[in-house]
Amino acid sequence: MQVLKFGGTSVASAENISKSCDISLRALENGLVVIVVSALGGTTDALIKAGKTAAEGDVAYQDILQQLEQRHLEAAEELQLPPAPLDNATALITDGFLELHRLCDGVAALQELSSRTLDRLMSYGELLSSQLVELHFHRLQPDAVWADARQLIRTNSRFGNAEVDVLATEKLVKDFQAQHPNASWIVPGFIAADAHGTTTTLGRGGSDYTAALLAAALGADKLEIWTDVSGMMTADPRLVRGARPIARISYQEAMELSHFGAKVLYPPTIQPVMKRGIPLWIKNTFAPDDYGTLVEVEPPRTSASVQGISSVGNLTLLNLEGSGMVGIPGFSMRLFAALARERINVVLITQSSSEHSICVGVNAADTTPAQVAVDEEFAVEIAAGRIEPLRPERGLAIVALVGENMKDHPGISGKLFGALGQNGVNIRAIAQGASEKNISTVIRAEDVRKAINVLHEAFFEATYKQVNLFLLGPGNVGGKLLGQLARQQAHLLEHLGLQVRVVAIANSRHCLVNEEGVDLAAWPEALAEAPPLSLTDLTELIIARNLRNSIFVDVTANAAAAACYASLLEKSVAVVACNKVAASSEYTNYARLKSLAKEFNASFLYSTNVGAGLPVISTLNDLMRSGDVVRRMQAVLSGTLNFVFNNYDGSRPFAEVVRQAQAEGYTEPDPRLDLSGTDVARKILILAREAGQVIEMSDIEIETFLPPACLEGDVEAFYTQLAAHEAHFRALFDAAQATGARLKFVARYAEGRAAVGLQQIPPGHDLYDLRGKDNVVLFHTDRYDELPLVVKGAGAGAEVTASGVFADIVRAARL
């Protein structure tokens, strides 16, 4: 005998009923079948609604019943079931609904809906669906019989969620089998009857349980649960796109997963079949050839340590705390007894070894009764100040890793905590039994989607990690960066396992957001059409979206943008900035951002702040990390100024050469920052800080070569003044040339002091031979004593800067 159970979606329409019957017919080739059916999808909810509406005295229940009746009649018609008087499909349905109307009329008259009446109301869902299936299946298999589950499954009289009397049920099932030895059966799921024959129900999802009880009583060869997904999945597919079916799983693992939210299986289902070692399959009615999931005693072991990730929401943590509990036996017993008296189910328990507190998780709906019960139980201790009144913490959820292979497998919880921590998911409580089959974490409900995805990537998708970018400032550098990202997407996925999605692109006028990833081939047009969004709103959006591995990429030169970093880092959103404002702001702010990054496990990277794409900051960081001491630094750090002094020889006006530097993308958005020396001062300040110095911008000596008039007014006035002072620039050039020297704008740092200024560099000097827009940094350290460590190369330009930002993004993503 085989037991096949078809869920609500599998019998939701005539077409689906046909599919389910075809599957059953095929199964008949291997022996007789017992077909257990749920109500037509959505029917039970509608019946409950009808009952509740009636209880409120609202006649709208009549419409609800009428619509339901219509749906059943249509299904019968589509199945071409012969109507009365030839057969009884129509009569069956209309009789059923007459009875339902009568029941609801009574409820409306009394304005009271007892659990007993509700069970009776709900039972019509399965009674009708199973009879429709029987009428259809009977034409294909005339020996099949309809069996009323109320005569097969015996329960107590706890209406709403009755307890099964397994022995009595087994006897009833065997008696029925004896009466119909060669027949297949069609049985309504979910419903049963107590010893008086009164209708009871087995709890929502109880049709699975019906099937399992019948399979166990019959000693069936197998139990198949037919549903609308191809098996038990590694995670809820509505939350995790990459979730995939688990091929084979043990009863224990399936039980753990189903208890914690894997909705394909009603948790009590496993116990009866597990006891008898009956293989349980979960199959997809709409893709019957898919393998599905086989639940069995001992599935073949794979290298996977985790089988699935499950979650359950609507959780409240109750924290019983106080010094009066330490070392005194009986506190936990009293806590659990108080909860049990109120029939409150404890979902999770944790207690610290200090015994100072016991923490239990309960369903949110039980919060108030639990609080009242526990505070009453411990009223004396609370009054004496020995324990605190119970503190409920609402809005929580459990996310759990499940797998028998986790046992004796070190590193699983480390990986779990690491993955969640890096994404700013705070764990409020943890529970792991000695069986090591389940590690449960309690987190905020709003973090569930992110947490499950992060864990799924960590444990199941060794192939890739999704990274979500929010890019501010798609200008010169930002535009190139987007181009590089678009070209490198396949490379990133294939070689680094990173799936980089640009979720938002914003400039000062528009903000384009697409959680699925902005189309990088067409972003300029889409951005131009997008609405505006303030920086504050963008920050809030990034935090509210709460996407895993989020990175804020600041490619502006804007101070307000830099002011957002702290709130983002505090939410574990990484920050990658080529904007130099933050790292060169007051030391306290610089240090705070670095410490927030550490505290919240999020990267704060700004390697392009000095030398654009050159490894200047990273080299210095490596020196410091390995214990070297930086004694002196000498550097040319302005691509713009190097370009200008390399190209200015008096044959073209100085202003024109500066304009060329701007046009080629070497200058700051405001070129006065470069020409005034401020940009170089910022850079040496950042290097000094990275070398361990507590130093401020005001400590940097800036020897400017610009006549003061050049810095008055706006950028156009600046260019006008540069032109007006051509003689000044020519004189600087001539003086250098007269000695065979070259002009270089040099940054110097030694013994905690830094200065920047224009110098004549003679031939043979380390800084002399520096072409185009190149930068060079000479690190004189304890280890690099005789000759400095030199980093040299192109130090400005959109393409190289973008590649430096890109490298920071990859670093942040791989943290």
Ligand X SMILES: NC(=O)C1=CN([C@@H]2O[C@H](COP(=O)(O)OP(=O)(O)OC[C@H]3O[C@@H](n4cnc5c(N)ncnc54)[C@H](O)[C@@H]3O)[C@@H](O)[C@H]2O)C=CC1
Ligand Y SMILES: N[C@@H](CC=O)C(=O)O
Cβ-based nearer residue to ligand X, 6 or 523:
523
Cβ-based nearer residue to ligand X, 467 or 614:
614
Q: Which residue number has the CB closest to ligand X? A: 475
Per-residue mark of binding to ligand X, 563-602 (x: CB under 6 A): ---------------xxx----------------------
Which residues are CB-neighbours of 522 under 8 A, at least 6 positions away? none
Per-residue mark of binding to ligand Y, 776-795 (x: CB under 6 A): -------------------x
Contact call for residue 666 and ligand Y (CB under 6 A): yes
Binding site partner of 539, from ligand X, ligand Y, none, Cβ cut-off 5-8 A by kind? none
Cβ-based nearer residue to ligand Y, 374 or 754:
754
Angle, vertex CA 158, rays to CA 156 and CA 162, nearest 5:
70
Using only C-alpha atoms, the chain has a radius of gyration, in whole angstroms, of 36
Binding site partner of 638, from ligand Y, ligand X, none, Cβ cut-off 5-8 A by kind? ligand Y
Count residues binding ligand Y (CB under 6 A): 11
Contact call for residue 558 and ligand X (CB under 6 A): yes
The C-alpha atoms of residue 31 and residue 714 are separated, in whole angstroms, by 90
Cβ-based nearer residue to ligand Y, 382 or 747:
747
Please answer whether residues 474 and 482 qualify as being in contact, where contact means their C-beta atoms are separated by less than 8 angstroms: yes
Cβ-based nearer residue to ligand Y, 107 or 661:
661
Contact call for residue 320 and ligand Y (CB under 6 A): no
DSSP 494: I
Which residues between 627 and 656 bind ligand Y (CB under 6 A)?
Answer: 638-640
Q: Residue 577 CB, nearest distance to ligand X (Å)? A: 8
Cβ-based nearer residue to ligand X, 24 or 476:
476
Angle, vertex CA 542, rays to CA 536 and CA 546, nearest 5:
145
The C-alpha atoms of residue 261 and residue 241 are separated, in whole angstroms, by 17
Contact call for residue 681 and ligand X (CB under 6 A): no
Cβ-based nearer residue to ligand X, 70 or 536:
536
Which two three-digit tokens encode residue 596? 């927030």
**Bridging pattern class, strands 774-781 and 630-636:** antiparallel
Among 668, 690, 774, 808, interactor with ligand X by CB under 6 A: 668
Residues forming beta bridges with residue 746, ordered by sequence position: 636, 757
Contact call for residue 579 and ligand Y (CB under 6 A): no
Cβ-based nearer residue to ligand Y, 533 or 635:
635
Among 413, 508, 601, 720, interactor with ligand X by CB under 6 A: 508
Which two three-digit tokens encode residue 784? 């690099």
The C-alpha atoms of residue 613 and residue 21 are separated, in whole angstroms, by 66
CA 367 to chain centre: 27
Among 308, 406, 797, 808, interactor with ligand X by CB under 6 A: 797
DSSP 689: H
The C-alpha atoms of residue 376 and residue 572 are separated, in whole angstroms, by 41
Among 10, 90, 234, 476, interactor with ligand X by CB under 6 A: 476
The H or E element containing residue 654 is helix 654-663
Q: Residue 263 CB, nearest distance to ligand Y (Å)? A: 54
Q: Residue 410 CB, nearest distance to ligand Y (Å)? A: 46
Which two three-digit tokens encode residue 165? 């009397």
Which residues are CB-neighbours of 710 under 8 A, at least 6 positions away? 672, 675, 718, 721, 722, 725
Count residues binding ligand X (CB under 6 A): 31
Contact call for residue 557 and ligand X (CB under 6 A): yes
Taking CB under 6 A as the binding criterion, the range among 131-139, 277-285, 391-399, 662-670 that sits at the site for ligand Y is: 662-670
SS3 384: coil
SS3 366: helix
Contact call for residue 507 and ligand X (CB under 6 A): yes
Among 252, 607, 667, 759, interactor with ligand Y by CB under 6 A: 667
Among 473, 671, 677, 788, interactor with ligand X by CB under 6 A: 473
The C-alpha atoms of residue 120 and residue 23 are separated, in whole angstroms, by 30
The C-alpha atoms of residue 585 and residue 598 are separated, in whole angstroms, by 19
**Bridging pattern class, strands 308-321 and 357-363:** antiparallel
Active-site positions read 683
**Bridging pattern class, strands 293-296 and 248-250:** parallel
Cβ-based nearer residue to ligand Y, 120 or 744:
744
Taking CB under 6 A as the binding criterion, the range among 226-234, 415-423, 429-437, 790-798 that sits at the site for ligand X is: 790-798
Q: Residue 611 CB, nearest distance to ligand X (Å)? A: 8
In DSSP notation, 313-344 reads EEEEEEEEE-GGGTT-TTHHHHHHHHHHHTTP
Which residue bears the tokens 């007789």? Answer: 32
Binding site partner of 478, from ligand X, ligand Y, none, Cβ cut-off 5-8 A by kind? ligand X
Contact call for residue 668 and ligand Y (CB under 6 A): yes
Tell which phi-psi region holds residue 111, choosing left (phi > 0), alpha (psi between -120 and 50) or beta. left
Q: Which residues bind ligand Y (CB under 6 A)?
A: 612, 638-640, 666-668, 674, 679, 795-796
Q: Which residues bind ligand X (CB under 6 A)?
A: 472-478, 506-508, 535, 555-558, 560-561, 578-580, 608, 612, 639, 665-666, 668-669, 796-798, 801
